[in-house]
Amino acid sequence: MTSAPIFDASVSVLRRALDEKEISSVELASLFLDRIEAFDSGLNAFITVDRDRALAEARSADARIARNEAGPLTGIPLAHKDVFCTEGILTTCASRMLSNFVSPYDAHVVSLLKQAGAVSLGKTNLDEFAMGSSCETSYYGPVINPWKPGTVAGGSSGGSAAAVAARLVPIATGTDTGGSVRQPAAFCGITGIKPTYGLVSRYGTIACASSLDQGGAFGASAEDCALLLSSMTGFDTRDSTSLDRPVEDYAAIVGASAPDAARPLGGLTIGVPRDFFSTGLNDEIRTTVENALAQYRALGATLRDIDLPNVRLAVPAYYVIAMAEASSNLTRFDGVRYGHRAAEYTDLVDMYCKSRSEGFGAEVQRRILTGTFVLSHGYYDAYYLQAQKLRRLITSDFERAFAECDLIASPTSPATAWALGAMSDDPVQMYLGDIYTSPVNLAGLPGLSHPCGFNAAGLPIGLQLIGNYFSEARLLTAAHRFQQITDWHLRRPPVA
Ligand code: GLN
């Protein structure tokens, strides 16, 4: 290892520095808080930063380290996407509707990470209510991609992705309903994993589309993601879809040495859905991902063409289901119990209408209207039910594919980060960008994105790996092997 600046270090290097008392958790938190202060005005990755709270958490982490009771994340700074409820500080979902909302409790993920001793620096920006692919619909303004001013960070967890990419924080949480961890990870040149549906409790995670939402992890590398994810999973009785299975130590699995050092991925079959590489895919992305697949072959993996015939219908199915669920989930924001309430109204119905019209932005309103429409009498069968049937067919495609391969590889997104505003007038064009990520949520499978190169404009390109249920360790290990022979994950954007 060269003497890279400490803010650039991996979580395991930070761990060692903390344990060997080369740096205290308070010093580490201060260093990242100072970076946020210096650079976030250009990125807008954070909605809330709470220095005092962070330093108080860091002090108790230092005490724990001094007692030799530190776990893997004790004293490590992180940030939470602002959909995770955090007791005592704002949880806004990047919406005017919740711009005054302070949660009385912590999300399960937040309390697990607190128990682990991680130090939360603040809450990151996102598309309003996690609806979007660019982080431009935030009430707090768009997130800027650290790789290029004037470019989107991806979405909806773009604030977390941009913050990790610019090293304003080493690791961060996100949520992924149709790609919101993987796509911003790809746009910002970092690694992000969305686990199997049910692995991470959704308790206290403000819902976008409940049957698709899943908490996930961002880090510079698969190793960092493994460390974070291990501390986010675990059965929770408060989420009826939480799965009761033993917590895995992904970091230990990823860190174990391969039995065959010359072919560390020997025996692994990677399915390549050829359709994913044809229509609508930008040439630079195709070539870059294909070159990365050649590296996987060099690591010993076998590549095999596979067919996912129904996946081309994933985007319409996803948007019908996601909007239907969102329209139902968002009925709770009525201006009565919490959240924004219009200043003036004539009666109760007028208060609902004005509060919701003022509180929600255009994209959220579009989804509530469309979602209500597809669920309404006379249209339910034609849209919602059809979409559920497609969901079943897409899930069966994956089941068949995993009978002949261990992982599936594809581009993460058909495009790299675009210029701010470039897609704002064409929501359908933006929706179509979820073609490679949304089928994974429809099937409830785990998926990961890692950087695999850059386009001519210097913007990062991501490769997506999809695994069978509960194959997080396999996904992270494969990405880690790739990162052992490449340095894309070590490249940093031009932020000082
Ligand atoms: N881009 C997708 C959407 O707009 C995914 C969002 C997400 O995963 N939260 O719905």
List the 302-306 sheet strands across, edge first: 46-49, 119-124, 77-81, 171-175, 215-219, 191-194, 447-454, 460-467, 407-411, 269-273, 302-306
Q: Whose CA is nearest to atom 5 of ligand 1?
A: 178
Tell me, using a 6 A CB cutoff, whether residue 201 lines ligand 1. Answer: no
Residue 36: name the closest of 23, 47, 26 by CA.
Answer: 47
Q: Among this protein's residues, is 180 annotated catalytic?
A: yes
Nearest-5° Cα angle at 276, 273 to 277: 105
Distance 398 CA to ligand 1 centre (A): 21
Is the Cβ–Cβ distance between 91 and 206 less than 8 Å?
yes
pTM of the model: 0.97
Q: Is the dihedral of CA 445, 446, 452, 453 positive or negative?
A: positive
Tell me, using a 6 A CB cutoff, whether residue 180 lines ligand 1. Answer: yes
Q: Which residues of the chain fall short of a pLDDT of 70?
A: 1-3, 496
Q: Which one of the listed residues 24, 103, 120, 180 is annotated catalytic?
A: 180
Q: Among this protein's residues, is 471 annotated catalytic?
A: no
Q: Which one of the listed residues 81, 123, 194, 354 is annotated catalytic?
A: 81
Distance between CA atoms of residues 240 and 290, nearest Å: 40
The separation between the first and the last C-alpha atoms of the chain, rounded to the nearest angstrom, is 21
Residue 1: per-residue pLDDT: 46
Distance 86 CA to ligand 1 centre (A): 22
Residue 201: per-residue pLDDT: 98
Distance 210 CA to ligand 1 centre (A): 12
Residue 362: per-residue pLDDT: 97
Atom index in ligand 1 nearest the CA of residue 155 equals 1
Tell me, using a 6 A CB cutoff, whether residue 264 lines ligand 1. Answer: no
Render pLDDT for 231-279 as a digit per residue (tens, 0 to 9).
999 999 999 999 999 999 999 999 998 889 999 999 999 999 998 988 7
Residue 496: per-residue pLDDT: 56
Distance between CA atoms of residues 78 and 416, nearest Å: 26
Atom index in ligand 1 nearest the CA of residue 441 equals 8
Residue 119: per-residue pLDDT: 98
